Structure 1
């Protein structure tokens, strides 16, 4: 399991980090702003 964590960390440090930040900000804006229109 430790190897999986290491791989996950490497992905997070690499190009996955920017994508994760983008997705997080997008989800945050959707959750805060357009939550009423979604539901």
Structure 2
């Protein structure tokens, strides 16, 4: 459930501030993937 909201927010932010948030989004996605892997 949270993943969908995060993805929508990420896409919205990326479309508006792609240049500035690109690096942060990459780090956030990698961190979320690591957490999701551990959660499962």
Task: Indicate the TM-score class for this superposition, using the shorter chain for normalisation.
Answer: 0.5 to 0.7
- 1:25 correspondence with 2:19: no
Higher relative contact order (CA 8 A, sep 6+): 2
Q: Where do 5+ consecutive residues of structure 1 fail to align?
A: 1-6
Q: Which runs of 4+ in 1 moved over 3 A?
A: none
| Mapped partners of 1:26, 1:15: distance in 2 | 18
Q: CA deviation at 1:16?
A: 0.4
Asked which structure has the greater CA Rg, the reply is 1
